[in-house]
Chain A
Amino acid sequence: MPLDPAVLENEFTEFEFAVERGKIREFAIALGLKDPVHFDIGAARAAGYADLLAPPTFTRQFWHENDENDPMPHLGYDPKRRLHGEQEFEYHKPLVAGTLLRGNNVIISTREKEGRRGGKMTFVIIETRFLDESGELVQVARRTLIETAATPKEAE
């Protein structure tokens, strides 16, 4: 389905994302991280962090996303043809447990391309800026969401 241009006019509400120790540990365990700065408060402090450090891909979380703040459900994408094509992070400041991030999502680009087997592929880039309580930029994340031309079965 071609992207509805109206979605580009939407403004998405700001959201809060509390960075918790338990969630950092759980995330680090799920990825097999061994660096104690993600698990051990003593080790994190010895390395110069105020608290447990979040792993590099930690901000790609889904807990805080909903219809008001996330563009994804408004793109009109068929869930069966939706792919996460790319994910990018820019790091401006270490992210540690106890931080209350504020984030907001903006659609920064869209384009359509002819699929290899015909039909249109739609690319949308969503940028999320994460600020801490003092208003300083902590990270910028960008995800590219693709609607493919055909579902996997149709493509066979």
Chain B
Amino acid sequence: MYSPIILFCYRRLDTLQSCIESLQSCLEAKFSDLIVFSDAAVNDEVKLNVCQVRDYLTQLTGFKSVTLNFRDVNFGVDYNIIRGIQDVSKDYKQFIVVEDDLNVAPSFLRFMNEALLFYEKFDKIITISGFNYVNIPEKYIWDCYFVGRTNPWGWATWSEKIKNVDWELAINDFFLTNKSEQRAFNRLGKDMSPMLIKVIKKEIRTWDIRLDYFLFKHGLITVYSCKNFVINKGFNRNDATNTLGYNRYNVFLNNSECSFFRFPDFITINKLILKRYIFKNSYINRFKTYFFKILSINN
């Protein structure tokens, strides 16, 4: 029994096509249900793009089944995903989430399915990530590592474990005023608290930081693949929603055939991996991102 794949898309046909093709390169695709949520156009300008995307979707094959959900009104990237996850949670006990700007490796679905099976009974483990930007120490013996922060690019979860996530952020005033809480939340990347504050103030619509806050509050953990099975192709394009500018997660896709994964049956915390994980979102690295963003806007 393979987990269903949920795909969220909006208006980018070319990245969507390449995303679907990469999914089809996984052997497990033929046996997996695909559920697509296509958001509606926000204005007339992009209506044509959305129509093209939907035309393409209606002819889609190569999966066990394809379910299309076309939104009538524009949900926005956050609510398209949040509502989509909530809907699918009712019908499936676990699922894999992909967005239209991602490309996955041929072993992506195998890794996700095996990790979902292996870690189902582990209460502390809430999500699985197929994306990894960390350089793994040579002596590390496992095929995955553990961090208390989610990854929105190519991830998977269990319906039961995320049903209590507070997507509306009802506690927002508490977080905005409590500095020590903000500092604590920043422990896995200096970008986290600023991002959550912006989300609470409704300046940006990032959805995954809300899940991160849930992880933080309950001491939950994400399983990361040691090999990278996902890349994001959506950077540096003027039609991207959330990801403008220089991509500091520039990594290579692992296309090797992986048939067997070594999962530990307890949670390991590797100091070196954690350090490298956090460094990616340190002030230095984020300044670099910011610098390139300014450059690209001026051009």
- State whether these chains interact: no
Residues of A within 8 A of B (CB): none
